[in-house]
Structure 1
Amino acid sequence: MSGGWFVTGTDTGVGKTLVSRLLLEALKRAGHSAAGMKPVASGCHVTAAGLRSDDALELMQASGTAADYADVNPYALASACAPHIAAREMGVEIRLERILESFQRLQQKSPWVVVEGVGGWSVPLGERLTMAEVARALGLPVILVVGLRLGCLNHALLTAEAIRRAGIPLAGWVTNHIDPAMTHVPENIATLAQKIEAPLLAQIPRQSATQPDATGAVFPVAEMIMRFN
């Protein structure tokens, strides 16, 4: 049995890496070998080994499978800006073929791959390529991370509709309470539950500065595996 998920978000900074890591950890607890992937990453830092993404390194640490960094993060970009702009600054063209080749090598090492997108669902990666097209080519069901803050209803519903129109299964959605000032959180979640035709998989509470990993999120991995296999 094999598979995986593509993790997207309503925006940048909503917790895609956190959710991807938690999924990898849940797969390991369920006894499955899993690998993480961050095909495109902006804002990478310089190391002796080359540009490195903190997000990609976190996924590698959570993975149960050893993999080459170049396959986990085929496109490491220096500037902390939109990926197509960061790629242009470096004279790099982000190619779908290269991403798929890296993904296939990860699949050969691990039956389960969790892929984290960059930015939101439709972020451009070049003149023709978008993150949505990468997700479609990978063929993985999608998990949508909803950053709970003012405006999240519109962002979440538009993203869920775009995923539906792309013909890609939406495995479910996750809420992440990123704005401590947001009011009426339960009511917002209830509204999304009524309108998104996919299950609410987990609710990640607002994280404490002293307990940054106290998420309390539990993913129904077994149920998702059965549903999409």
Structure 2
Amino acid sequence: MSAFFVTGTDTEVGKTFISRTIMHIYEQKRKTCVGFKPVASGCVDTPQGLRNEDALCLQDASTINLRYEEVNPFAFREAVAPHLAAQSAGRKICLKAIADSYEKLLKKQADLTIIEGAGGWRLPIGEKRFMSDFVRQYDIPVVMVVGVRLGCINHACMTAEIIHQDGLQIAGWVANHVDAGMPFLTENVKALKEHLDMPFLGEVPLVKGPKEAAHYLDVTPLLQFDMVA
């Protein structure tokens, strides 16, 4: 079994898209996988309760049947930073509850568990805690999604540095196209490769879905990781 925490260099860089693509590739290799979105804001009201689009995508991509609450234990209506959304809802985001949910997912014995963060690496969840504290608690290898747009080199280098300072391993990184009009795109990706000393999983252009994106990713570096629940 293996687990990876998918983080981004910023918000809206394609974490969910890349998470789904990795899960799709594993499924094609006849491996089981589950998705986990511990905290999500910007949820919508449904007859079943609050639902988040990203979490629903992970639930749908999971090869093991999961209840929504197993995928996304903390869901908030306000489309703002989760700690602010929690305050607005009169709730607290509890790291222990996140850890308990994660451990229950591990008991599903899936070959792959993908945990998707929210925003960037230092996502505050309240009481001076960050989502990265959860990742550190379980020493989960990280997949870093770099949204290729203006400022991406600085954001990628700074994110990689702080992840390493936290004592965690970056299992691989993805250059994900998010700006169709990005000037000097090729040159920027080349610079990213020169500055990021870690496995490169691939460069994903603007494509329709995970099935198409899978052609641009090589998850071989991830297959070496194994963990014991």
Structure 2-normalised TM-score?
0.93
Structure 1 residue 222: deviation in Å? 4.1
Residue aligning to 1:219: 217
1:52 Cα deviation after fit? 0.6
Name segments (4+ residues, structure 1) moved above 6 Å: none
- Greater relative CO, 1 or 2 (CA 8 Å, sep 6+): 2
Structure 2 Cα separation of the partners of residues 109 and 212 of structure 1: 27
Larger mean Cα displacement after TM superposition, 218-227 or 89-98: 218-227
Question: Could you tell me which amino acid in structure 1 is paired with residue 96 of structure 2?
Answer: E
- Give the match for residue 6 of structure 2: 7
1:4-83 mapped onto 2 (5 Å cutoff): 4-83=3-82
Q: Which residue of 1 aligns with 2:202?
A: 202
Question: 2:181: which partner in 1?
Answer: 181
Cα offset, 1:147, TM superposition: 0.5
RMSD: 1.5
Gapped regions of structure 2 (runs ≥ 5)? none
- 1:110 is displaced (CA, Å) by 3.2
8 A contact 2:35–2:114 mirrored in 1: yes
Corresponding position: 1:144 with 2:160: no
- The change in CA–CA distance for 1:228 and 1:158 in structure 2 (over 3 A counts) is farther
> Structure 1: any 5+ residue segments left out of the alignment?
none
Secondary structure, counterpart of 2:25 in structure 1: helix
Task: Tell which deviates more after alignment, 124-133 or 154-163.
Answer: 124-133
Greater shift in the superposed pair: 12-21 or 192-201? 192-201
Residue number in structure 1 paired with 2:154: 154
Give the share of equivalent positions with the same residue, in percent. Answer: 40
Provide the residue aligned with 1:84 in structure 2.
83
Partners of 2:206 and 2:21 lie apart in 1 by 16
Partner of 2:213: helix, strand, or coil?
Answer: coil
Q: Distance in 2 between matches of 1:216 and 1:26?
A: 6
Q: Given the superposition, is the C-alpha separation of residues 88 and 141 from structure 1 closer, same or farther in structure 2, using an over 3 Å criterion?
A: same
Deviation at 1:132, TM superposition (A): 1.3
How many angstroms apart in 2 are the aligned matches of 1:73 and 1:217? 29
Tell me how many residue pairs correspond in the alignment. Answer: 225
Deviates more, 1:40-49 or 1:131-140: 131-140
